[in-house]
Structure 1
Amino acid sequence: MKVTNEHTIQSINEYIDLIENVKTNNVAIGNKADLIFRGQSTDKPLLPKLARLTLNGEMAIMEKLMLDEFKRGSLPLTEFKPGNNWDWLALAQHHGLPTRLLDWSYSALAALWFAVQNPPKKDGKGNLENGVVWILAGLVNDFRTNTEKTDPLSNKITKIFRSTVVSRRISAQAGLFTVHKINENGKMIRFETNREFKNKLTKVIIPHSKFSILRRQLHVLGVNNATIFPDIDGFCRHLEWRFSKYSDEQNSKNERSTNR
């Protein structure tokens, strides 16, 4: 989707310069809130997973049923017991359950990693797709703060939400969320078209030809599967990358060393 505030970067240096420019411009107009970031391997709409599925019933009902089942079956499998539905949703989201939450990060490098961690995908015509990183310059009043007196399953307005750190992944990824409203028609609107947020977004295009070099540079900066996913699964994925070549790296002139 073409947006007004859209930029293409070719290197990490360009990426950092762009972020600094966005930050400087926001401070100049009085917005000192931290920027947040979302990386995607393809340019898909900013919709939570719950809104991208073909559900067996009304969205709000299916969401509650899935969350109830998650609560019932997950306690023996988790090291943290959430205290309310906000924390339950955050924990469920980070383990892949479809929810009304959309993942974001305070870390610009973590977001870039999510965009380039794997080889670029192909569209329906066989063309390689670019990745994207969204930068959100939210205001202080865009954040959901009254979680003790509200329930996310009856959320009436889309907001930014910082959960309790309910998993090591949230901590490692400097994670937070946008929590989305389900409209009366049982659907969600795309975040990039939300009138409260669309003018606060900057879209960064990551050319598919740059995925492999950016992946390698991020590793040098300490951002890889082992640091983003601080568990055995993440460590194993990192080892796989260290000792093999992804499809977009096989013809690279810059050979990776297995000693890194």
Structure 2
Amino acid sequence: MQTTILRDWAQFMTLTSTLDGWAFRGQQNTAWQLESSLTRYLRAYADDQRQWRAREERAIRVFRRKAHNFLEHPGLLDNDLRCLALMQHHGAPTRLLDFTKSPFVAAFFALERATGDAAVYALNTPALYNSRALPKGDPGLTRDVIDPRVQGHFDQYFFCNRHEVIWFGEPTEMDDRLIAQSGTFVVPGVIDRPLARILDDYESSEELLHKVILPASVPVDAMKWLYRMNITNASLFPGLDGLARSIAVELEIVWSGMTPGHDA
């Protein structure tokens, strides 16, 4: 995995312009590994990795048994990927990793509450999509073959935690948040390894993962640019909750030329 340490925000815009079609994920701490909320949770609360599969299955089973009480269309729970996306949307730990097709949305999530150096990871989704990158151990497991949107594929290729593969994409039906964030999901076939280690076992002549470190000196200029691009919590999280969360930026950024009573 190649790593670039930025000098300034302009370098980020130049670099990401060369990564056409890639997917991006922002993380508030550059030391964090690229792994799912489920992996982080299980590592903290379930030392015995032999229990991880059973715990994940139980969490999904409990959610399915109870979530129908709050859904207008409970049938969404029948599809594995849609069910996990719904869990992720509402804060449950899942094996899904949130990515976005916009490097600027990823930068916002990396910088919004960062207190030190942050990072944006770029994933070469075109190479994965066109099978220019395949797992060395299971080269037949292409993106189309393991597609988790197909009924039964989650059990066969993912929940079993035997295949060191990844899939990326969206559910057939996308919710408003996924649309607003230009979002996509990365689904790992195993939950006991970070994404970078899984990709290390892929055969490809191309770079598959690039880590961009945003030093603590970058956020001021970056957040102003993102604000001007209308990338805020209000736009990324449709509804009153997103608007309320976006007010924090208004407290942080000092706009030149502002006068009392003038709205930026």
TM-score bracket, normalised by the shorter chain, equals 0.7 to 0.9
Pairwise CA RMSD:
2.6
Choose which of 73, 87, 108 in structure 2 pairs with 1:113.
Answer: 108
The Cα shift of 1:232 comes to 1.6
1:17 aligns to 2:5 (yes or no): no
- State how far apart, in whole Å, the 1-side matches of 2:155 and 2:91 are: 18
Percent identity between matched residues is 23
- Structure 2 residue aligned with 1:8: 5
- State how far apart, in whole Å, the 2-side matches of 1:48 and 1:218 are: 26
The Cα shift of 1:108 comes to 1.2
Choose which of 243, 253, 263 in structure 2 pairs with 1:259.
Answer: 263
1:179 aligns to 2:187 (yes or no): yes
Choose which of 46, 64, 73 in structure 1 pairs with 2:34.
Answer: 46
The Cα shift of 1:75 comes to 2.9
The one-letter amino acid of 2:154's match is P
The one-letter amino acid of 1:164's match is T
For residues 23-58 of structure 1, the C-alpha deviation after alignment (integer angstroms, 9 at most, x for no partner) is 4xxxxxxxxxx2100011112101111111234571
- Structure 1 residue aligned with 2:210: 202
Return 5+ residue gaps in structure 2 as ranges. 132-141
- Structure 2 residue aligned with 1:131: 118
Over 3 Å counting, the alpha-carbon distance change for 1:174 and 1:93 in structure 2 is same
1:221-260 mapped onto 2 (5 Å cutoff) = 221-242=229-250, 244-245=251-252, 259-260=263-264
Find the residue that maps to 1:86 and give its secondary structure: helix
The one-letter amino acid of 1:192's match is A
- State how far apart, in whole Å, the 2-side matches of 1:228 and 1:217 are: 16
Choose which of 148, 151, 160 in structure 1 pairs with 2:150.
Answer: 148
The Cα shift of 1:152 comes to 2.3
For residues 139-191 of structure 1, the C-alpha deviation after alignment (integer angstroms, 9 at most, x for no partner) is 21364536224332441332223223442111111111111123xxxx52111
- State how far apart, in whole Å, the 2-side matches of 1:13 and 1:232 are: 32
When normalised by structure 1's length, the TM-score is 0.78
- State how far apart, in whole Å, the 2-side matches of 1:237 and 1:256 are: 22
| Count of residues in Structure 1 that have an aligned counterpart in Structure 2 | 229
The one-letter amino acid of 1:73's match is K
When normalised by structure 2's length, the TM-score is 0.77
For residues 202-252 of structure 1, the C-alpha deviation after alignment (integer angstroms, 9 at most, x for no partner) is 11111112223211220111100101111221111113432x23xxx6xx7
Contact 1:60 1:153 in 2 (8 A): no
- Structure 2 residue aligned with 1:59: 52
- State how far apart, in whole Å, the 2-side matches of 1:78 and 1:227 are: 24
